[in-house]
Amino acid sequence: MQAQEIHNAEDHVSGLRNEPVQARSTARLTALLDAAAVVVDEIGFERLTTAMVAERAGASIGTVYRYFPDRIALLQALAARNMTRILARVSEEISDERHATWGDATSAAFDAFIEAYRSEPSFRGLRYGDVLDLRPAANEHTFNSIIANRLLDNIQSRFGFADGPEVRFAFETAIEVSDALSTRAFARDPQGDPAFLKAAHDLAVGILEPHMKA
């Protein structure tokens, strides 16, 4: 996947009313997103309001609306940040020379996803924003699809596997399966149910393995 497609997807999901230019504005935006992430963790994205975010950030409601026209735009921006962060972590793991095989690199990438569930505020509930039921869809591709394509691009770049529609579909399927099972793993356990996490990993690898041929 081309980098521009990632940027376009992030633009669609971010919903920023005013792009921050000065360091103070950037810090204020970060504080708002951090506050929103905490609220999502506490009560879920469905019940989040801009007033809650303003109070948690110690800001006025006008400050929130300076950057976001509504709560959905705020959630989209938080989801975009989640996606940017996990894409960076996945790319780092796959390119790490300590992972000598595609299987090791893929497992390391999976571990990066799981660590995000455990430590990235809002990730368990919001992830990349696919859970937001937007009509019409903000982007042609789901964000799981974007993650799958980036993962495959990185693995192909390092290990030289063949590309094609079947391979792309397999990677997207693997991401969807692992995402669903990982979400289930964290539904009641903040550390993730080990049995569901193992199933998520093993099923994803099983889907990918037939396609991992140079």
Within 70-142, where are the H helices? 71-95, 102-119, 123-126
Q: Say which residue the tokens 């709560």 belong to.
A: 71
Say if residue 69 is preceded by a cis peptide, omega within 30 of 0. Answer: no
Kindly report, residue by residue over 111-163, the tens digit of the pLDDT.
999 999 999 999 999 998 888 867 666 667 788 888 899 889 999 889 988 88
User: Mean pLDDT throughout 3-9?
Assistant: 44
Give residue 26's pLDDT band: very low, low, confident or very high (50, 70, 90).
Answer: confident
What's the alpha-carbon Rg for the chain, to the nearest Å? 18
Higher pLDDT, 136 or 187: 187
Domain boundaries, the chain: 3-14+79-211
Look at residues 166, 191, 199, 45 and name the one whose alpha carbon lies nearest to residue 114.
Answer: 191
- pLDDT class of 9 with cuts at 50, 70, 90: very low
Can you read off the two tokens belonging to residue 167? 């391979």
Quote the tokens at residue 91.
């790319």
> pLDDT tens digits, residue range 27-47?
899 999 999 999 999 999 999
pLDDT at residue 132, as a whole number: 83
- Tokens for 132, please give them: 């937001």
CATH class, domain 3-14+79-211, is mainly alpha
Q: What pLDDT is stored for residue 34 in this prediction?
A: 97
Encoded amino acid at 51, one letter: A
Tell me 132's DSSP state: S
